[in-house]
Chains A and B, each alone.
Chain A
């Protein structure tokens, strides 16, 4: 079953095209790793797939409510505890139990700690545990391993593997090797040509 089909996609950041002509499909049980130098447009591509910004050209086909998105910011509230943060996102996404998610990211002992008192790596682990309670089939992850130690990276790779085995899919932008059996898509050949996009008269980006 195809979860995500991207056809000839072009995306732009700040009005400038970053990558264009990108096509790929992701079926249940598959993972795709995005690679490419800084600034090529990995984050922009992921935000477009997550539906946070519209594509400049091309098409993205997927069922509704498919994506769980995780980016550089984890969406945590420092005044709430680890469990409260997770419970909130679980309720918003109409999702799953906290206990397996806390266990998967080794957060059980920290459950009653305010999120403000967590280290950067612990915050990131909590941000990743959110993926489990969101119960969405397609994980769109932007540099998920930033500030994780080696053990946590292995833990995270296990989590992704279990997700794939359960019929999920993952689209991951990362620079490190996660040890997943995944296809790799290098975005370098898709870099947009440095031509200014033709804009109709009276074009206003804010209302495009």
Chain B
């Protein structure tokens, strides 16, 4: 499993792997919003939390179809399925690799982009914690979507349609947590919900994704 993780990470870092693409997309999005709604603090501050989470969602979506599609094309997926590695484990490892290459850079960059959107400093800790707790669920749900659409040509759009509705709970509690942090409210409830959703997703979705892969490999 560690071998698979290391291979996926080194593939992502090497030329054409798309490492950092998500962050760049996130940056562009956050830089465009002030042009769209106006640069005043009164206009940006109320929507900053929502924009940051939507940006993270979309940036995560960008690289989802690569999770399994490339391995399917070159035959690696067939070989992984016949290897001693359980397919559920392979799915989980690939989701982890996706999170490290997409989610983690987003989290690191998010405070900076929060400043672009006039997010008050008091909300930065809750922004970081909410992303840290929420983005693993995004990667794992995305891996499920990628497993369902793996055999399809140009399955990217279908993948987005399948996965984005599954992101709604994470989005709701993630933005709620930042908003409460911004207003100095109690962030414990959204934090617990966010953690609960992620824990449930991490525990159950690998099995669903592996089942979908087995059907698609036939």
Contacts and interface: CB of A to CB of B under 8 A. Distances in A.
Interface residues of A, number: 30
B78 A69 contact: yes
Contact of A74 (B4, B75, B85, B218): B75
A73 B84 CA distance: 19
Which of B14, B73, B75, B215 has the most chain A CB atoms inside 10 A of its CB? B75
17 contacts: A52-B78, A52-B82, A52-B218, A53-B217, A54-B218, A69-B78, A69-B79, A73-B75, A77-B7, A77-B11, A79-B15, A80-B14, A87-B3, A88-B4, A92-B80, A92-B84, A130-B79
B79 A80 contact: no
Contacts, number: 71
Which of A51, A54, A91 has the most chain B CB atoms inside 10 A of its CB? A91
Contacts of B217: 52-53
Interface in A37-77: 47, 50-54, 65, 67-69, 71-77
A133 to B, nearest CB: 12
B189 interface: no
Interface string B1-18: 011100100110011110
A130 B11 CA distance: 19
Contacts of A54: 218
Contact of B78 (A73, A77, A84, A93): A73
- Binding site secondary structure of chain A: loop
A75 B76 contact: yes
A176 B169 CA distance: 58
A23 B84 CA distance: 26
Given A79-B11, A79-B16, A71 B3 contact: no
A52 B76 contact: no
B81 interface: yes
B150 to A, nearest CB: 13
A74 B78 contact: no
Contact of B4 (A67, A92, A130): A92
- Binding site secondary structure of chain B: helix
B19 to A, nearest CB: 12
A14 to B, nearest CB: 9
A84 B75 CA distance: 17
Contact of B3 (A67, A69, A76, A88): A88
Contacts of A67: 82
Given A79-B11, A79-B17, A206-B215, A74 B74 contact: yes
Which of A74, A87, A88 has the most chain B CB atoms inside 10 A of its CB? A88
